[in-house]
Amino acid sequence: MEREKYFATRTRGMKRSVIRELLKLTSKPEVISFAGGLPAPKTFPVEDVRKAAIDVLDNSAALALQYGSTEGDANLRRELAGVMKADGIDADPDHILVTTASQQGLDLISKVFLDPGDTCVCGLPTYLGGLQAIKSYEGVPVGTPLDDEGMIPEELEKTLDTLEAQNRKPRFLYIIPDFQNPAGVTIPLARRKRIVEIASNRDCLIVEDTPYRQIRFSGEHQPTFQSLAPERVISLYTFSKILLPGFRVGWVYGPDWVVDKMVMAKQSSDLCTSPFCQAIAARMLSEGVLEKGLAETIKLYKHRCALMLKCLDENLSGIPGVHWTRPEGGLFLWLRLPKGNNTTELFQEAIDMNVAYVPGSAFYPEGDDHTGMRLNFSYSDDDKIIEGVRRLSALIRKTVGK
């Protein structure tokens, strides 16, 4: 059978997630993996989940185990508005759409805004899941360079000028402003204001992806793009990194006319996000579980990030062309090798040494930059961070000839 002929054009171009496939190779217990974007299991509030689940089953089972509204549980949306107000956003619960984590938000945004061939602008490098969502609807992500302070306004304008000359107006700018995945960098306030100004002048929407925003352990708190330009910004949130990934609960916030279309798109996707998980999440938020847990999570990740940076400093400092970012929060840092090196080709050697990372090419729309690698510091304990960086550093020194 000519099997490909049965698929839609957009389906033929789909590819498996590089990270999901790499995790299969890192499943051996002897492999120290810095590859996944996994929170530390010790941060999971197991007892709080148990108590909330029992409470929901004892008092709200008829509602929690039934179908729910597409927009999301009303109690949860009120609690989420409170979370956002604590972050400087005057949030209206009616502008919140509860999603199956933020990945569904990315999918819905692509579904709602992109026709085949439409462009959107993202940083280089950028989140693989965002690229997948855009491409799955035959959108074309166009990259613009980042530096240690995130998206560069001057480079963004150049990218938009190039697209305009080609009569290709981007549907939106996709930005991860805080502790960006994969680079770990944060956009400072002056740049945020300039990017908003550029978007306003060019009449572009901004999609702000904020999965790690609450996990800041150094530096100054920066205002959200949502608070700077609520009429132009669609914000994505998730509990996956700040509470529990297994809940698969996130939310979208934006102008009512955008959220309304996303509700319609979601209705043909899954009808509603799990009412049971939403009810448990609402109960936990009302009990202050998120705030209590975040304090411990921030403390742990600050320690693990500092330890990984210390190990990199001790093992790789002074090697020309090898450098890495110093995150102020989140779960990742970005390590780059000198030009001419290929971290995709190097990956199997790393696995042979029982250490893993994500090759940087996965985070580029065309997969054409091979010098970077993403390292996760949130998941591994101290001994594994120390030993894993030692193994990886030995491989890098051998590769670059130092």
Mean pLDDT of 272-295: 97
Mean pLDDT of 232-246: 96
pLDDT tens string 292-339: 999 999 999 999 999 999 999 999 999 999 999 999 999 999 999 999
C-alpha span between 189 and 191 (Å, rounded)? 5
Question: What pLDDT is recorded for position 9?
Answer: 77
Q: Is the pLDDT of residue 118 over 80?
A: yes
Q: Is the pLDDT of residue 27 over 80?
A: no
Mean pLDDT of 90-101: 96
| Token reading at 93 | 């619960």
Q: Do domains 3-44+292-400 and 46-289 have the same CATH topology?
A: no
Q: Is the pLDDT of residue 367 over 90?
A: no
Domains of the chain, residue spans: 3-44+292-400, 46-289
> If you average pLDDT over every residue of the chain, what do you get?
94
Structurally, what CATH architecture does the domain formed by 3-44+292-400 represent? Alpha-Beta Complex (3.90)
Q: Is the pLDDT of residue 23 over 90?
A: no
Question: What pLDDT is recorded for position 218?
Answer: 96
CATH 1.20.81.30 is right for the domain spanning 46-289 = no
C-alpha span between 371 and 361 (Å, rounded)? 8
Please give, one letter per residue, the 3-state secondary structure of the chain. CCHHHHCCHHHHCCCCCHHHHHHHHCCCCCCEECCCCCCCHHHCCHHHHHHHHHHHHHHCHHHHCCCCCCCCCHHHHHHHHHHHHCCCCCCCHHHEEEECHHHHHHHHHHHHHCCCCCEEEEEECCCHHHHHHHHHCCCEEEEEEEECCEECHHHHHHHHHHHHHCCCCCCEEEECCCCCCCCCCCCCHHHHHHHHHHHHHHCCEEEEECCCCCCECCCCCCCCHHHHCCCCEEEEEECCCCCCHHHCCEEEECCHHHHHHHHHHHHCCCCCCCHHHHHHHHHHHHCCHHHHHHHHHHHHHHHHHHHHHHHHHHHHCCCCCCEECCCCECCEEEEECCCCCCHHHHHHHHHHCCEECEEHHHHCCCCCCCCEEEEECCCCCHHHHHHHHHHHHHHHHHHHCC
Radius of gyration of the chain (CA): 21
Q: Which residues contact 370 (CB under 8 A, 6 or more apart)?
A: 341, 342, 343, 344, 345, 359, 360, 361
Q: pLDDT over 70 for what percent of the chain? A: 96
- Owner of token pair 């921030």: 298
Q: Is the pLDDT of residue 21 over 70?
A: no
